[in-house]
A and B are shown apart, each in its own frame.
Chain A
Amino acid sequence: MRYDSLLDLVGGTPLVGLPRLSPSPAVRLWAKLEDRNPTGSVKDRIAAYMIAAAEKDGRLSPGAIILEPTSGNTGISLAMVAKLRGYQLICVMPENTSTERRELLEAYGATIVFSAAAGGSNEAVRVAKELAADHPDWVMLYQYGNEANARAHYETTGPELLADLPEITHFVAGLGTTGTLMGTGRYLREQRPDVQIVAAEPRYGELVYGLRNLSEGFIPELYDETVLTSRFSVSSADALRRTRELLQTEGLVAGISSGCVLHAGLALAAKAEEAGKRADIALLIADGGWKYLSTGAYSGTLAEAEARLEGQLWA
């Protein structure tokens, strides 16, 4: 296959069966391999869409500075697109994210502003909003509220899934900005009204929930509860266990958020199996495992890995 530029390679990712993890021929799990995007994560889709939208509406012009709160993948995707389109990038990133992400961003020439570990991405969002107010010439694409984020999935991820799996009954993805679930979910629901749209969200250690006040809570502007059928909270221990299971059973080296998604997917599969219903469950594999090796997620016992992950943002 031949492409003119790396940007043309975004999307069109493969859907692969997970026969060893599927409970029966009637209840099947499928993995949408988003790690096959140019920078290795699903975020290439939204980076390309958000930048194209900002160029179209005139917010971005050559040499502009893009600002974004990101714990890593979006930053790396934006860094790649910005590099190719001629923009500078400043990322606001929580200090408790993996070294690989920081090093990759620096390699792309992005500037990183670190936000305090306590509060996780909440704090990164707050700092980025402050910086944006102080620097009106910087362009904050703001993935949590940017319609182009959800639209990228409505126009690409959703149609790709339906084309590869017309019999789809469930779609499971990480919650994050909610863009993946909102966009893909809306598209699939229009085409298959009975489809279940299921969110899997990481449950972190207490540090990440260290708000001073409940009113400091955060819900992404893109989030529309009515798109979802259910929403699961998955502990670090379960996410890690499933990430390893994915590797050991199906040979897939996925990031830890995919373990989170698999955990929810297996619960849905067991439910369908028990009810004697057919199911084709698509799991969104947001990225590969390579960027998380330094977290120790893949080595030693599960308990050791869990202890090492405490206080880190793993998804």
Chain B
Amino acid sequence: MAIEVRIPTILRSYTDGEKSVEGTGATLGELFADLDGRYDGLSDRLIDESGLRRFVNVYLNDEDVRFLGGLSAPVSDGDTVTVLPAVAGGER
């Protein structure tokens, strides 16, 4: 078992075009570090010195991780992490 991480189109150049990759870690930060070992440069697109990048949204099982502790949010096997760029989206 591992944690599935869904990658948005804009970042797939870092994952050899893969829509979804797998990693391990006890926290979101560890998971990203684990992924960065195999997908060089990916982590740098997701986080900067202050934490998650401003226009990057990350959801743990559909819930925004910014409300779950950010990079220290605990993750476990079987979880799904979805990365999406912040956009204006729909309604309005």
A binding-site residues for B, Cβ under 8 Å: 43, 69-71, 73-74, 119-122, 124-125, 143-144, 174-177, 199, 201-204, 206, 208-220, 225, 228-235, 257, 286, 313-315
B binding-site residues for A, Cβ under 8 Å: 8-11, 45, 53-57, 59, 62-64, 66-68, 82, 84-92
Say whether A214 contacts B9, CB under 8 Å.
no
Say whether B87 contacts A214, CB under 8 Å.
no
Nearest-CB distance from A51 to chain B (Å)? 16
Nearest-CB distance from A64 to chain B (Å)? 21
Q: Is the interface of A mostly helix, strand, loop or mixed?
A: mixed
For the complex of A and B, 9 pairs with smallest distance between CB atoms? A217-B55, A121-B88, A231-B64, A315-B91, A176-B91, A315-B90, A313-B90, A217-B86, A122-B88
Say whether B88 contacts A124, CB under 8 Å.
yes
Cα distance, A202 to B57, chains bound together (Å): 13
Say whether A209 contacts B8, CB under 8 Å.
yes
Cα distance, A57 to B90, chains bound together (Å): 30
A-B contact list, 21 entries, CB within 8 Å: A119-B87, A120-B89, A121-B88, A121-B89, A122-B88, A122-B89, A144-B92, A175-B89, A176-B91, A177-B92, A206-B9, A208-B87, A209-B8, A211-B10, A215-B55, A217-B54, A220-B88, A233-B63, A233-B64, A286-B91, A315-B90
Q: Given A174-B91, A214-B55, check contact A230 B10 (CB 8 Å).
A: no
Say whether B62 contacts A204, CB under 8 Å.
no
Cα distance, A206 to B19, chains bound together (Å): 11
Say whether A70 contacts B92, CB under 8 Å.
yes
Q: Which residues of B contact A211 (CB under 8 A)?
A: 10, 85, 87
